[in-house]
Amino acid sequence: MTRAIIALVLVGLLGLVTAGLALARGGPPASQKGKGPTKTPLQQEWIQEVFVDYVNPSHAGPGPHPDTESSSFKLTQGGISWFSDGDVKYKITGAEGVTGGNTAIEAAIATLDGFITTRTFTRDDGSPSSNPCGGVNTVRWAAIDGSGGILATASVCRNVATKEIRGFVVTFDTDETWSVTGASGLPDVENVGAHEFGHMAGLNHVNGPKDGCLTMYRFASDGETQKQTLGLGDKLGLDALYSTGDTSSGPGCAS
Ligand SMILES: [Zn+2]
């Protein structure tokens, strides 16, 4: 096994890269030529951005809810996006204990699909599209960290050089008691889902108190549904990535 292959396997075990090519970048410095083997840096072709999303912490109160939507947005890695191509197929697994959960997930993806002008997203549990970072595009229900704390995570697979997004895995924590109706005291599937699929589209978090009613605000509160619909900053971010032309405000903070 060559040094390059060993290095790739080690990196893969760390979960930082699961597929792709390892390409030696450049050659040894002139001063080292003729001195035997040298270490050459590896260039990963595909890596994953992993976002971990928490319920609004108690010390932060019920969550900031300003009167107007802010225009804030932040692009992941300064701008990663789905390039133009056909249908992106994904599967949903493990939702047996969450009645109505899959319908809510599909609704959340449809919200972002309307703004990702370069692709369409279709649920196909039988033949989902492959993910260059490993496996296939998946939304799954799985235990993460017990009740509270982490609600969901999103792994977004992108090409290092081109910044093209071409895969995702979103995980909802089955240790939570989920609602699909915005019930008080419970996290709402579509509310959290729209946020996760915002990451899938290429959006990062916004954190300021004035950003509290945007879909990409960092935390989600129990009983909250306002993230189901995109706010002004969310739309401006998606326009920057996909030239949607929609720079209008959303339906407001309470919607
Ligand atoms: Zn997030």
Q: Ligand 1 center to residue 192 CA distance, Å?
A: 9
Reported as a single tens digit per residue, the pLDDT across 48-78 is: 999 999 998 755 444 555 667 899 999 999 9
| pLDDT score at 179 | 96
Q: Ligand 1 center to residue 24 CA distance, Å?
A: 34
Q: What are phi and psi of 185, to 5 degrees?
A: 85, 0
* Per-residue pLDDT band at 36 (split at 50, 70, 90): low
Q: What would the mean pLDDT of 82-111 be, rounded to a whole number?
A: 94
Q: Ligand 1 center to residue 180 CA distance, Å?
A: 19
| pLDDT score at 96 | 73
> Letter for the amino acid at 245?
G
Give me the numbers of helices (H) and strands (E) for the chain, helices first please: 4, 9
Q: Ligand 1 center to residue 246 CA distance, Å?
A: 22
Q: Ligand 1 center to residue 54 CA distance, Å?
A: 8
Give CA 95 to chain center in angstroms. 19
pTM over 0.75: yes
Complete domains list, the chain, with CATH: 3-43 (no CATH), 45-242 (3.40.390.10)
pLDDT at 21 exceeding the cut of 90: no
Q: Ligand 1 center to residue 41 CA distance, Å?
A: 31
Q: What would the mean pLDDT of 153-171 be, rounded to a whole number?
A: 97
Q: Ligand 1 center to residue 78 CA distance, Å?
A: 16
Mean pLDDT of the chain: 85
Q: Ligand 1 center to residue 37 CA distance, Å?
A: 44
Return the structure tokens found at 75.
């692009």
Reported as a single tens digit per residue, the pLDDT across 185-218 is: 999 999 999 999 999 999 999 998 889 889 999 9
Q: Ligand 1 center to residue 216 CA distance, Å?
A: 6
**Cβ(255)–Cβ(249) below 8 Å:** no
pLDDT at 4 exceeding the cut of 50: no
Q: What would the mean pLDDT of 120-141 be, rounded to a whole number?
A: 97
| pLDDT score at 41 | 67
